[in-house]
Structures are given as structure tokens and as C-alpha cells.
Structure 1
């Protein structure tokens, strides 16, 4: 198969950056006790600002398809590519606007692209890498000359008080269980996309995609991050569609089992060690490490484990934007790639390693890229 390249990137972050003191105005206020738990979460994740597609009154002009569609429009304009050259569109998200149809159809409708082949990839953060690999393989197999991959999230719409009040999950003091509160103060909104082509950009730098690896460990783990299910007394999950009163039971709330998340860290690192042993990853040869993580506390644990295992990439080679742009789920890795490509720090020949762990039911994805083209 032929080589493929990331030749352009773009993003859509709705509204002005929202600081920590303004968060509760956008996601809504449950109680002073809940806000105290929120401040504890912010100390753990160390996110200083993020973007929300929802207004303080709960209204919005956005959908996840519109966010992704705007990112695609910006990508096409920035790249200066004839839209007719793009033959494939892959979308990634945690939660679509609707149950049916798929997100890729909604993004296509918002993108300004002509008739095109589409694929909708839905998981959590790693859905971005699923979409990227799908698009890269389409171009590598000579099915298309160019493809667009886009990740988008609109998490804030699920964090408003009316999604919690009146449900079985709210405590007597109007607080939420920790597995719901953590996500409420961590996730944010936005979209980002990449243009994948069968040749490097005519001017400037491109990223040659060397390989993408993604593995699920759902054979070892129960679901960790969930939405659309009710956890029963015995620990089992009942899908919302099979529950007699899913809304009252809190089935539509996003939840994350933080203890299970920490149990996944050694597995994620083990996948890196497997790739090191296979000769895919050489830690000392990585110039830029783009690692998605949901909180600074998790980053610290990753550093500790990687150092003990002897596969640590020095932190001065890590590139992240989570502290200023928040955790944007399926869009996060594309936002990092876009910001890195625009940073002016890339040089031809540099090697980039992307890492996306997913807590949904334990997935670990890596991608290696090499900077090519003219340094301008």
C-alpha cells in the first residue's frame, strides 16, 4: 500500500475560553456541596480553561454535527484543497446528537462536501484513532486520493442540572456520585479534523503516517465509562432500552468508575512495552509525544509507571494542550496534532508518537508519524 500523509489540520472551539470560576455558570449549579467536589476535581485535573457549546441559560446554537462540520469547512479552506478531491469522511465521537442516523451523515450535511463515502466511528476517546486508521487505510489502499477524519464532542449538554435532578443518583444534599461528578468538571466541547492525502502538501510540512495500532482489552475489563445504562445492585449494567424508567434511574448520565480507570493504567503501559519489544516504538527516538490524558494526576501515574518500566519518554518531549483547551474526548488527539503543526517547532525528520488510552472498556491506541516536507 502507498504512503499516506496528514497534510492539514483544523479545529472548532465554540465560544470564548471558560475559566474555572465560570464553569458552574455554564454547566449549571446543583449545590454548594457539588461545587466543592468540583473544585477538588479541578485540583486533580489542573485544567485552567475550556470551551463550551452551551450558554449559561442552557441554550445552544450548536450540535456535535455542526461542531464537526465547522471544523471540516475550516480544514478545507485552510488546506486550499478542491473539495471534489476528498472521497472519504470518517467521524468520531462519544455521543451522537441522535440515536439514528450516524454522525458522519450529519457532519457531511454540515460540511459543504459533495456526495462522498462516509464512516461513523463511536466509542470514547479512542474513536478518533479508529476513524484515523479507517481513513488512512482508505487512502493507502488507493480507494481515495484524499480523506478527512474529524472528532467532535458536545459533552456539556449532559451536565446541566435537569439531567440529574429528580433521578435516583442525586444525594440528599444535591450532590452526585464521584463517578458522575468527575466527568462533569473534566469534559468539554469542540471538534478538530485532519486531511489525509496520498502525497505530502506542496508547501510546508506534512506528517507521514508510519503505523497505527489499536487494541481492545474488553475481554479483561467491564465497562468503565458509561452512558445509557443503569448499574444494578449486583453491579451489572442494564441498557437504557431495557429499563422500565431509564430517565428516573439516571441512565443518560455519563459515569466513570475511577477505580477501574486506575486498574487500566498498567495494561495501557503494557501495550506500549509490547510495541517497544516489537521494534515499533523506540522511546529515545521520539521527538514529540502527544499523549491524551484526562487529568494531570493520571499523567503523573503514567510517568511513574513508564519510568519504572524503562520506557519513559522525557517529559520535555511531551506536547499537550489539555490545561488550556480541556479534555475534548474524541477530538483531543486531533486538537493536539493541529496545535503542534501550527506551533512552528516541527522539523523534517522528527518522529511523533500519539497515544490515546480509552477507559470505556479499556482500549489503547498508538500512532507513529514522521515530519516530512519543506521547513518554512
Structure 2
């Protein structure tokens, strides 16, 4: 199998940064109790600004596919890769712009690049690493010479007041408000090739590991059913989309109590991955963990300290405060920011960690600077 290198990264965050005080101008107002929960969420998540694909007057600036395409173009430009060299595109997202067809088709159409093999991955935060692993296999096996993987989210569309059932105004849910005041929009992408770039730094992909725990937990972050205790009552089983909407089956939800129950399982898997690859926490030069809130990052630190597997905090890199939680895009946006803001040296190692609350899975990626 051939080695695989990340030779270009790209990120695209739409519009100007939006501060906490301006958020409701963009996502709309639901009432005082919703605002109170939102302010509590902002204190927990530590986000100071984020980006949306919606203007203050309600106009949509970009589709999800356009976000991904812009990030892909940036990765190709940074990697000095001509469009006609690209032969594989894999995309990850929580929800594409359409229900059908697959999201990668829409991104290819936006790029206008012909003769591409494509693959669409729909999950939550880890879908981008699912896409990258598929692209990695394609390059390793010799089926592809230049592949790109993207992660992108257009989350703000879920949070407009009219997207919620009428009864929701009088019955706010902390988990729903957590998502409403945390998720944001953006895209990231990486270009991979079988040789490092001719100039500058490249990142060799040593391995990507991912495991699902859906056999142990119900859905934690979900849309398409009214609650996670009745996962057979899905949106398409209602008599109409309108009835599903009024039942709350189309609302994006988060089970916060369940989220904290999943955390120790993610950390247990982290320990397994380190043992499998013979890695000591002190061996990692840069740790890029995704987490949706500062409070969850602290919980991650607490558990790693308790297990004796803590990577020194001065080696952690995270951009949640300034980029917001961009879901599947987060790991690629974080990697792009890390490369631009530091001076990585050959031989340094990078560990990316993406826990996904969707239905409890976690993904890791180990890189070496060359």
C-alpha cells in the first residue's frame, strides 16, 4: 500500500464573524426563557463568535454544497493541484441541502470538475473523517492519484423560529437550545496524494481509527423523530410532513444527560487506540480535539487526567472560541488553522480526536509532519 499525504488544506467560513450579542438577529427570537437558556449555553460553550449562511435580514448567502466547494477549491489552491488531476471526491456532512440525491453530487456540480469518483457520508461531526478514510484507501490502493475530502455544515437553517412546532415557544428544551446557541456554519477540506508536496510542509496520514457504539446507546443528537425513546416513530411515518413538524419530529435535538454518559466510553476507546498503536500521551506533539463546548472540553481533560492518559494542555489546539462549532467541518478547519498559526517541524506528530454524539461514535487520526 502506498503512503498518503495531506498536501493541501482549506477552510471556508461564510460572511463576517457574528458575536454573541448579535446572534438572535440571525437565528430569530423565540422568547425570554429561550434567551435565558441560550445565555446559559454561551457561558458553557465559550464561543465568542461564529459564522452563518444567513444575513440579518434573512437572506441565504450559501448552500451547504457551496460551502464545501469553496473549502475544496482552497485546498486545491494551497496544494497546487489542478482541477483535472483530482479524481476522487468524498464529502461528509450532517445533512445535505437535499434529501436526495447524495451530497457529493451537489458538491461536484458546484466545483464543475468532470471525471470524478464520488462518495457521500452522512453522520454528524465524524463524517468528515469517514470521508477522509475512504479517500485515503483510494489513494493507498492506487485507484486515485489526487483525492479530496470535505466536511461542511449549514446549521443555522435548523434554528429559525418557524422551524419549531407552535407548542415549542412555551416549552423550551435545554438540549435543543444547546444546539441552537452552539452550532454554526462553515466548511473544511483536505487534499491527499501519494507523495508529499514539492515545497512546504505535508502531513503523512499514519492511520485513521473509528468505532461506533450505536449498539449501546440510543440517538443522542438527532432529527427525524420526536424523542429518542421511540426511534420507530420516524418523521416519514406521520400522515404528512406538517403533522411530523407539529409533533416535533423535524427538530434538531440533543440529549444532554446521555451526552455525559457517553463521554467515558469515548475516553475508553481513546485508551484502546493508544495501546493498539503503542503511543504514550507524551509522544504527541499536537493534540487537536473537537468538542462542542468549553465545558465538554474540560470534562475531556478531567477524564484524561483520571486515566493517566493526559496529553499536556500546552499541546492542545482548538479554535471553538473564534470559529464556533462547525460540526463535521471542525476537524479540517482546526487543522487548517493549526498549520497557518504554527510552524510545524518534520517528525512532529499530530493526533486529531473527533467524538460524535449522533449515536455515539469516535474517530481518531494520527499524522506526522514531513
- When the two structures are superposed, what TM-score results if normalisation uses the length of structure 2? 0.97
What are the equivalent positions in structure 2 for 1:1-376 lying under 5 Å apart? 1-166=1-166, 168=167, 170-172=168-170, 176-231=172-227, 235-244=230-239, 245-372=243-370
Question: Where in structure 1 are there 5+ consecutive unaligned residues?
Answer: none
- 1:28 and 1:56 in contact (8 A); partners too: no
Comparing 104-113 with 69-78, greater Cα deviation is found at 69-78
**1:8 aligned counterpart, secondary structure:** strand
RMSD, matched Cα: 1.2
User: How many Å apart are 1:59 and its aligned residue?
Assistant: 1.9
Deviations 1:118-166 (A, max 9, x none): 0000000010110110111110111111100011000001101111152
Deviations 1:283-328 (A, max 9, x none): 1100000000001111111111111101000111001111100000
**1:307 aligned counterpart, secondary structure:** helix
Comparing 236-245 with 133-142, greater Cα deviation is found at 236-245
Moved over 3 A (4+): 234-237
> Whole-Å Cα distance in 2 between the matches of residues 360 and 281 of structure 1?
28
Give the number of equivalent residue pairs. Answer: 367
- 1:50 and 1:324 in contact (8 A); partners too: yes
Sort the Cα spacing of 1:152 and 1:289 in 2 relative to 1 into closer, same or farther, 3 A. Answer: same
User: How many Å apart are 1:237 and its aligned residue?
Assistant: 4.8
- When the two structures are superposed, what TM-score results if normalisation uses the length of structure 1? 0.95
Structure having the higher helix fraction is: 2
Sort the Cα spacing of 1:101 and 1:258 in 2 relative to 1 into closer, same or farther, 3 A. Answer: same
**2:245 aligned counterpart, secondary structure:** coil
Question: Where in structure 2 are there 5+ consecutive unaligned residues?
Answer: none
> Whole-Å Cα distance in 1 between the matches of residues 231 and 139 of structure 2?
41
> Whole-Å Cα distance in 1 between the matches of residues 248 and 255 of structure 2?
15
- 1:231 and 1:237 in contact (8 A); partners too: no
